Amino acid sequence: MSLIHTCYRILDVDRSVAFYEALGFQEKRRVPIREEAINVFMGLPEDGENPRLELTHNFDQTEPYELGTGYGHIAITTDDLDGRLAELSEQGIEPEKPPYTIREGGNRLCFVRDPDGYRIELIERS
């Protein structure tokens, strides 16, 4: 077995796609679900045609989803956290707090939130 993707429910396809593209994802394909919804599959350049993220928009959903307290976040890596944060800032995306490390000598990290409130951990590779 292998994990193939994570799915989020979203309210605005264009807004969410733009957010994830700012993080380096690429839209791979859109798949309609009858007349009720659409799935947008997003992947990183090294993923080829195997997307890591499925964004599901239900056409009748107009109120924000409740994220609950059990779900945490997804994590992605970057070679240059400060550079990535500067690029994101130009698009109005700011970290929850400045980058930090969990332990001495550990990788720097921070969190941003997507348009629906999901947390994304950005980890700088050593």
Point out the catalytic residue in the list 36, 54, 121, 124: 121
Rounded to an integer, what distance in angstroms lies between the CA atom of residue 9 and that of residue 54? 9
Q: Is 121 a catalytic residue?
A: yes
Q: Pinpoint the alpha helices (H) of 3-94.
A: 13-22, 81-89
Structure-token pair, residue 102: 């969990």
**Which residues, 6+ apart, have CB-to-CB distance to 63 below 8 Å?**
none
Dihedral-angle region of residue 83 (phi above 0 means left; psi in -120 to 50 means alpha; beta otherwise):
alpha
- Would you say how long the chain is, in residues? 126
**Which residues are the active-site residues?**
121
